[in-house]
Structure 1
């Protein structure tokens, strides 16, 4: 006897799995790690007995669960500093490997160079379009920490990609003007 959520799980896995893996690859360096992350998120999502109205709603929940599982992995592996050291020492996928997977190589390589927490904040804010408050709640951080991690991450991505943020292009320049009096 099928449970009510099983058809929805099958639909999400059948129709949305490639997109979910692509999102997970923004966080981890290999396709197999991304697939593992998606599987963990699917299990967590559907074993929590959450009720979804549609596959799109379930996919949204799974996407957030992917990031949560990623952060949980980073926490379990020890302090963030040692995790970052391991991430830097880990061999990065080659450009050919990423191109073979159909991903934007420059962005993927640049994201992989970020620490796990910074990467999670940048992905949630700019790719998942979550607010600072939602990102902070999801990752268990203060809103100020999220802002700092996103700022640092975007600066690192801009440096790695040779791009600039919209705020960097037209800085505001204060100029002295003569005081104008009305009615004078």
Structure 2
């Protein structure tokens, strides 16, 4: 039992930052990303004995993360917590923030496709399997998402 826990702890230490970055890319919030990472590893732990021998542990973890993200979206679809309402939209400081903002404007499944295909560099077939959609859906969602990101990034500051 101690050996299993040590293996799990080593896997966690090695992969937590990668999973956290992916979670952030999906949701756009470090706080929510941390929650999703915690949920992911809590769900992984009881299955570790069976999963650890599988060569595709990372794919299994991604599937848990994606499912947790989509569940989170369904539960919190219209929530947005802010301390104070802003007078106007805050100016965006750089293109990295512009991209993050543009990503958050994509519909959830389209954002997941774009993140998995282009940030995680996963093949179409693996993204389709993770999201449980057809490969054609991945291709079309990816193309539409990239087009929307290009359009959003080409707008001048202040344009809507």
Q: TM-score range by the shorter chain?
A: 0.7 to 0.9
Query: Does residue 133 of the first structure (1) align with residue 88 of the second (2)?
Result: no
Aligned match of 1:28: 27
Greater CA drift, 107-116 or 15-24: 15-24
Aligned match of 1:177: none
Aligned match of 1:77: 75
**Matched-pair contact (CA < 8 Å) for 1:29–1:93:** no
Question: Cα gap change, 1:120/1:9 in structure 2, threshold over 3 Å: closer, same or farther?
Answer: same
Query: Does residue 52 of the first structure (1) align with residue 44 of the second (2)?
Result: no
Q: How many residues align?
A: 148
Query: Does residue 123 of the first structure (1) align with residue 118 of the second (2)?
Result: no
When the two structures are superposed, what TM-score results if normalisation uses the length of structure 2?
0.73
- Give 5+ residue unaligned stretches, structure 1: 164-184
Q: For the pair shown, which has the larger CA radius of gyration, 1 or 2? A: 1
When the two structures are superposed, what TM-score results if normalisation uses the length of structure 1?
0.65
- Give 5+ residue unaligned stretches, structure 2: 83-88, 156-160
- 1:94 Cα deviation after fit: 7.6
The CA RMSD over aligned residues, in Å, is 3.3
Separation in structure 1 between the aligned mates of residue 16 and residue 6 of structure 2, nearest angstrom: 15
Higher relative contact order (CA 8 A, sep 6+): 2
- 1:152 Cα deviation after fit: 0.9
Query: Does residue 10 of the first structure (1) align with residue 23 of the second (2)?
Result: no
Separation in structure 2 between the aligned mates of residue 126 and residue 22 of structure 1, nearest angstrom: 13
Separation in structure 1 between the aligned mates of residue 124 and residue 152 of structure 2, nearest angstrom: 24
Q: Deviations over 1:126-163 (max 9, x none)?
A: 12222222212211212222222111111011112239
- 1:90 Cα deviation after fit: 7.3
